[in-house]
Amino acid sequence: MTPDTLIVPPKYCGPSQTGNGGYVAGLLAAHLPGPVTVRLVKGVPLDVQMRVETNGDGLRLLLGDTLIATARQSSLDLQPPAAPSFAEAEAASRTFFGHERHVFARCFVCGTDRQPGDGLRIHPGAIPSRSLVAGPWVPHDSLADTTGHVRPEFLWATLECTGGVALFPQLVVMGELTGRIDGTLRPGERCVSAGWQIGQDGRKYYAGTALFGEDGRAVSVGHATWIEISKDAFKTLVRTGKSGT
């Protein structure tokens, strides 16, 4: 049964005043089988009760009468590249642009102001020889469910920010994420998050992401549509958590 309410705690932010898109997508995807496509219509507000409604073969997330996001069963045949090694990801991470200045430093996934156990702390940098970005990740014990595996919403969370970094320096916000979970992880595994550009159609940019376990298997895979926004809209996003688009 699908719960009829959802509250995103402030801890799970992307921009400081809205929820991290990948994490929110994972919460919604948990109630649908197979690959799922989540469309973010508006920035997901934090610490407020929203309503989840069944809509045909999918879900709608609403705040009052305002549509925040939709989720539906989907398909995803995206095949990720071979996994970078953990050492390659560590070396790439040292070039992550956010180490010098991160405008979303409190982001739950890629924020540099987060401590172990407080955020995922995935900081991808370029591997130029492979035309992708990658960063290392060792899941914290606090991310595990009662079976000892990393909870699926956190596997989904890894599918957003790395794709955005792959599109840098484009000013973009994620509009839609299609993801699938192909395996499980245990805390302490030496994992790699990777992202790569797929294509462009006007203001729409497409990126792939994958999370690889310690043995190189793809645990989660995503295809995201990112929307290019103006410099003024990006400044508004930094300041308020809302792009105004």
Structure tokens, 73: 């069963």
Instruction: Give the span between the Cα atoms of 69 and 31, in whole angstroms.
Output: 14
28 near 58, Cβ under 8 Å? no
Secondary structure class of 19 (helix, strand, coil): strand
Q: Which segments of 7-83 are extended strands (E)? A: 36-40, 50-55, 58-63, 66-73
Q: What share of the chain is helix, strand, coil (3-state, %, to 5)?
A: 20, 35, 45
The per-residue DSSP string of 136-149 comes to EE---GGGB-TTSS
Among residues 197, 198, 21, 7, the alpha carbon closest in space to that of 29 is found at 21
pLDDT tens for the 245 residues of the chain, in order: 456 999 999 999 998 889 999 999 999 999 999 899 999 999 999 999 999 999 888 999 999 999 999 999 999 999 999 999 999 999 999 999 999 889 889 999 999 999 999 999 999 999 989 999 999 999 999 999 999 999 999 999 999 999 999 999 999 999 999 999 999 999 999 999 999 999 999 999 999 999 999 999 999 999 999 999 988 887 888 777 665 54
Phi, psi of 26 (to 5 degrees): -65, -40
Domains of the chain from N-terminus onward: 5-73 (3.10.129.10), 86-240 (3.10.129.10)
Strands 66-73 and 204-212, sheet pairing: unpaired
CA 44 to chain centre: 13
Instruction: Give the span between the Cα atoms of 138 and 158, in whole angstroms.
Output: 12
Beta bridge partners of residue 38, listed in sequence order? 71, 177
Structure tokens, 221: 């895979």
Q: Could you give the angle at the alpha carbon of 117 between the alpha carbons of 113 and 147, nearest 5°? A: 150
CA 145 to chain centre: 19
